[in-house]
């Protein structure tokens, strides 16, 4: 499937949760669904590492995300997505690997 990059997802799985102050290891990464048609998962490069607790909190808008404006949360997620994707691509290029 064109939306998949298993190497990137495996790399995300070795990262800590993307929320500042959280030192838990990532569970299944969160795929931001912005700009995606209903029923389809976002491209793997639109994923971020999140621990199980924060991933659940984000989907249910509880805990850290309770009362947050969706536009602010989307902006924060987009920054995190860009950070992790750029870091992954930088590391791959340093290893002489062009992922796509």
Q: Is residue 29 part of a domain?
A: yes
- The residue with greater pLDDT, 37 or 72, is 72
43-93: pLDDT as tens digits? 788 899 999 999 999 888 888 888 888 889 889 999 999 999 999 999 988
Please give the residue range of the domain that contains residue 12.
Answer: 6-91
Task: For residue 41, name the pLDDT band (cuts at 50, 70, 90).
Answer: low
Answer whether residue 86 is part of any domain.
Answer: yes
Classify residue 66: in a domain, yes or no: yes
The number of domains in the chain is 1
78 domain residue, yes or no: yes
In a domain, 21, yes or no: yes
Q: State the DSSP string of 20-87.
A: TT--PBP-SPEE--TT--TT-PPPGGGEE---HHHHHHHHHT-GGGTT--HHHHHHHHHHHHHHHHHH
- The reply to whether 65 falls in a domain is yes
For residue 28, is it within any domain? yes
Is residue 1 one of the residues assigned to a domain? no
């Amino acid at each position: 499937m064109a939306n998949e990059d298993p190497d990137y997802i495996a790399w995300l799985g070795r990262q800590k949760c993307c929320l500042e102050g959280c030192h838990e290891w990532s569970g299944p990464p969160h795929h931001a669904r912005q700009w995606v048609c209903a029923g389809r998962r976002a491209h793997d490069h639109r994923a971020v590492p999140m621990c199980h607790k924060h991933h659940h909190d984000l989907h249910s808008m509880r805990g850290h995300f309770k009362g947050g404006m969706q536009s602010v949360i989307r902006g924060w997620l987009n920054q995190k997505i860009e950070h992790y994707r750029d870091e992954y691509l930088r590391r791959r290029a340093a290893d002489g690997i062009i992922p796509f």
